[in-house]
Structure 1
């Protein structure tokens, strides 16, 4: 007797092109002001909010929002918080203006306040503010950019601050898709994603700009590979067609493969924004840009400056002249 025929493999899912509409509602009790960054870790939510002349770090642990500290951005040396993330051990890492950073305990206690120290001539990080911070594979990463987007840095160090260690500033030569050799320029670093893969292998994706002045800035999205204590090969340009990524480098990454990832693109000169989110159910959901949907959020009025995805997969939006909002349904 002949063997029965094997069933044909399932047809691959289509990729999605277009807009996906999601409804949003205001987050009740959220502190007033312009939301600059968000971070989630189980029962804790941290937020950096600009209100008046200063920025403040707020924490919500289930008992209501409380302000941890405020600094005056109009002082001779602005030291306000600008970005926040959680370390693998659960404490908060807070990046700020003028290359300052803080470590905050889960109870809101300030554990340390310092400036980035980077060893080596030409490795200084100036007075740049932190744009995003992320932790992966027991390392903390921070992106920095100057005001006009012509210079900045990517910094990293072990997330275990109980052991002395300097911050490292890896070089960012990247290989554009149309060139054989890497381009070496000063770059400003914005949106940042760090994802542990396996075998001490971490993928880092960043949005960058470079140029002599704002009108001449060139934008790219680059990806690098960190493994066994060193960077592997060159940083690669990973830009997609303009129909997919119409507004330059990512300004913020949020979420995970499990909760659903979102990517914010903001064009500063026109205050226009686009957010890429997973496609609707039934379509391919790659952990990248192809096939992701463009968010249509009718309730989101104002200029979106940051995004976040909580542990349940709800997308948060916040920014200028708008309330902080949360999607009524998860992304996935």
Structure 2
């Protein structure tokens, strides 16, 4: 697989110069109303393959600030368009349930209980065997934000996320954690990610974090396809894969951004349904077998942030997530965020983390 490491954050040259100029003029380095811009880097780490269908990164919004703009960029900070979930090597992922076959899910009282079963029933499946197509899990790309409390940074009371704090998780693929310097049990720094990993990415021990029994239950065994409409790291109202572990709409709202993909096949008539084979989804009747596919309907929907310096994300935004699309060995991905200081006495720290698939 391939995933993103890093999460190194630094002020841009322009912000450094602004602070230096303020000090030289006898002013406070920063004041309420000033803006600060950071750039974060996320290098690709690969093991066993040269690429992967999805690279994701999160920048947590510091206390005392509001986000005024954010971009996917190159190393110089120049904006780049978002891309589909196909790596630069040309590799994608199966449109259907893929090489691991059709999965059966835990539908016990603490298991999978989606809020709507109509599409599964129309395709002839029960909720226990109604699988998402793999390409749909990774197909939503672009930039997203959340105001929901379960995406708030958690670092065991600290303001700074480290490899020693955060929620405990035990993903089936344990390779990413030591690759970034982690030791012992892996950590993530918001509850939503921890709950999704427990449900969709863990097959064995689930460490207790004080969540509900439902939130500390695996429903997939940690490998292969997730339930239909679920499993995306950017599940939300403008995503093709819109549900999270709770079987309801996830917290990630789109920011309007060029090149963004919604996980829908533009050539498929009618709504895209559940997987019906290794490389097909309902209502397709022919399964081509394991294939390499991208489901991308380009979209400009979402919060219109980057067109005016007077516009900010909602004041209760706590995290911004970047879905970079397909990633490959040797690449590094960058994100830039500008924030306006609203409370100079209580400005927090920038924190970032990367992951992938």
Query: TM tier, shorter chain?
Result: under 0.3
TM-score (norm 1): 0.27
User: Relative CO higher for 1 or 2, CA cutoff 8 Å, sep ≥ 6?
Assistant: 2
TM-score (norm 2): 0.26
| Bigger helix share | 2
